[in-house]
Amino acid sequence: MLQRASVLLGLAILLSLLFPFQVALKEGGVDPRAFPVQGIDLAGLGMLFAVLPSTALYRHGRLEQRVSRWTPWLVALSLFTLLFVLLHLHWTHELLADWLREAFGSQRQTLKGAELVSELGVLVCMAGVLVNLHAVAEAPVARRRRKKR
Amino acid sequence: MKRLYLGLTLLLMAFLASLDQLDAVHRFVARAGVQRWMTELALSLAAVAFFARRSSLHRRMLFPRRGLRLLLAGIAAYALGLAVISGLLARAAGLLPIEADGPWASVPGVLALLRPLPLFIAAEVLLVVGAFRALTNLVPPDEFAADF
């Protein structure tokens, strides 16, 4: 379950970063900064929108059967995915910002760095997961019994 | 394989373009006259070459190949988008000897309606699906290690 969620969210994050939907919103006359959604920022919203196409890709590639056990790539993907989600939910972002301000005195550069690390981490780990998939076990071919003459 | 390499490079360039944190790098190299797309292209080419070498992509791709036609369509759509954004398409349409009453008279008008953003989005959809199909059609790593 956790493996499936990590791969699905990882794919969704990657798809949301590949498509310039902020530019598409601007061309459509919508100000991306004025998006009226509570609790999540635009990058997080993009990830949520990308869950549906990532589910389609997940099923198309039969990833559920081919990602069967925890590998280092999958563990790293789940951690980077979790970091991305935490950075783009408002309340966890505020918690992190407050902690960094108290611990280090500045939080903006560190948060920007953490965002970059999470995005690059998802990209690298997703590529690692995809090139290390197991083969799909083919269903046995049903054989017709020969009639005895 | 060239289609896969080019498709992965274009996708990685789109990914790097979405990273705001690289703006400082772009501003730094802009002093030497290097444009943003040149930096993204150089980084993408290096990263894809490293990835292809490390994962032995060319030796692990199964037959029949999957996703390569989608990659070709995506590359063609991307090239069309570049032609629209650079004005090449409009200039090429102007050079064609089209008669005002002929069957091709509406072609320049249709070409003028093309916008680059939908073409780039369509190109990215095709490249994503094509690259995904190609990368999920490889010899599993344990079988590859046993054979080589």
Nearest to A118 by CA among A91, A89, A144: A89
What's the mean pLDDT when you consider all of chain A? Answer: 79
Q: What is the mean pLDDT of chain B?
A: 83
Tell me whether residues A135 and B136 touch, CB distance under 8 A. no
pLDDT band for position A79 (50/70/90)? very high
pLDDT value at A148 more than 60? no
- Residue A40 pairs in a beta bridge with A89
pLDDT value of position A22: 67
The predicted model scores a pTM of 0.82
What's chain B's length in residues? 148
The reply to whether residue B135 touches residue A131, judged by beta carbons under 8 angstroms, is: yes
Cβ neighbours of B39 (radius 10 Å): 18
What angle do the packed helices A2-18 and B116-135 form, to 10 degrees? 150
Beta bridge partners of B116: none
Using the structure block, give the residue that is written with the tokens 């069967």: A68
Q: A88: burial class by Cβ within 10 Å (0-12, 13-18, 19+)?
A: buried
| DSSP count for chain A of H helices, then E strands | 8, 0
Q: Greater confidence, A67 or B103?
A: A67
Q: Which range has the worst mean pLDDT, A61-65, B29-33, B97-101?
A: B97-101
Tell me the residue type at A90.
H
DSSP string across A101-114: HHHHS--HHHHHHH
- Mean pLDDT value across residues B94-101: 66
> How many secondary structure helices (H) and strands (E) does chain B include?
9, 0
User: Are B136 and A116 inside 8 Å of each other by CB?
Assistant: no
* pLDDT score for B28: 80
Spell out which residues of chain B touch residue A133, defining contact as CB-CB under 8 Å. 136, 138, 140
What is the pLDDT at residue B129? 92
Which chain B residues are Cβ-neighbours of A112 within 8 angstroms? 20-21
pLDDT tier, A138 (very low <50, low <70, confident <90, very high otherwise): low
